[in-house]
Amino acid sequence: MKSFTKSEFSDAVIGELVRAQFGTAVSPAAITPLKDGWFNTAYAIALSDGQPDVVLRIAPPPGQPVLTYERDLMRRETAVMQLVEKEVDIPVARLLAYDGSRRVLDRDYMFVARLAGRPLDQAKADMPPQELARVLRQLGEYAARIHALPGARFGYDSPDLSASSWREAFLRMTGALLDDGEGLGVALPVPYTAVRARLEELAPLLDGVDVPRLVHWDLWEGNIFVDVVDGRTAITGIIDWERALWGDPEIDQVMFRDAADPFWGGYGRSPSAAPAAETRRALYRLYLWLIMLIEDKVRFDGAPHIPWVVEQFNRDWGMVLSCKL
């Protein structure tokens, strides 16, 4: 399933990008398109002269319709990657180069080191249960380290999508998304006015979040690479920081895991069963379902997963409607 935001590039163009960043003596020895992901175009590249393999990621072209929070996404991602590499003790795909000048190509692009192994969502079927449990506990440890990093402001690194409070930032984020949906003519399972009104009514529940914490936000198993290290499967790196934000750690997708998941043993606590925390998580899941419903218009315009997303939305919308402050 190919997204509208992804393009195809010739070997000649890719070679030009490689030489622009690594020098004229370096060239691609092999180029493999990477089909996962719905936003950037990506290639795995083996470089000449025995240098380590890299991954080239290329942003959508200027003028390509995207959601408001996706504008200038790669520049924001590189800033987060540099911060994480410096401040957080976790394995990541190291940023090797970023070019947002548009001099060589008409869009942003970056090179990152290629990680060993494969994504957890693909690898876990071959892992014994105890080995998978150990990896999930390790993921919990890494998520806790990410969430421990404080920031200066809530929301995305964008003036229009951030604020001094988590309540205001979340309302700006969801408001911009709903504006996108209305502008694109996306039909939701319930009226836009109802969603806006209920978010405003429940927004006081967000006031208890008083420190902006780093949130990967897209920390699902496809963005967790694993490989055998010293005879045991371990996480080799976390990728795709493009949707990172500052806010309530409970909004991270990984925090939606079941309470019995080994993840929580590594994270250091179980998910809170308090009604306010349950409702916050329902609001955050609703935000995810809204993104998936609305982004379809600028990705596929009829993706096969949309009926499933509608089911998830309706479940959490019912929970949000039944909540009392």
Per-residue pLDDT, 324: 79
Q: Residue range 144-158: average pLDDT?
A: 97
Rounded to whole angstroms, the Cα distance separating 184 from 103 reads: 31
- Topology given in CATH for the domain delimited by 11-113: Phosphorylase Kinase; domain 1 (3.30.200)
Rounded to whole angstroms, the Cα distance separating 139 from 261 reads: 11
Strand partners, 56: 43, 111
**pLDDT exceeds 80 at position 2:** no
Residues in the chain: 325
Per-residue pLDDT, 111: 98
Domain residue spans in the chain? 11-113, 116-151+214-248+260-271, 154-210+272-325
Query: Comparing 2-6, 161-165, 250-254, which segment has the lowest mean pLDDT?
Result: 2-6
| Cα angle: 218, vertex 224, 225; to 5 degrees | 150
Q: Residue range 108-118: average pLDDT?
A: 96
The pLDDT confidence band at residue 1, using thresholds 50, 70 and 90, is: low
Element (H, E) at 262: none
Q: Which residue has the higher pLDDT, 273 or 204?
A: 204
| Rounded alpha-carbon distances, angstroms, from residue 15 to 27, 138, 253 | 6, 37, 36
The pLDDT confidence band at residue 35, using thresholds 50, 70 and 90, is: confident
Rounded to whole angstroms, the Cα distance separating 18 from 21 reads: 5
pTM (two decimals): 0.95
Q: Residue range 156-169: average pLDDT?
A: 97
pLDDT in tens, 48-65: 878 899 999 999 998 899
Element (H, E) at 6: none
Q: Which amino acid is at 73?
A: L
Per-residue pLDDT, 294: 98
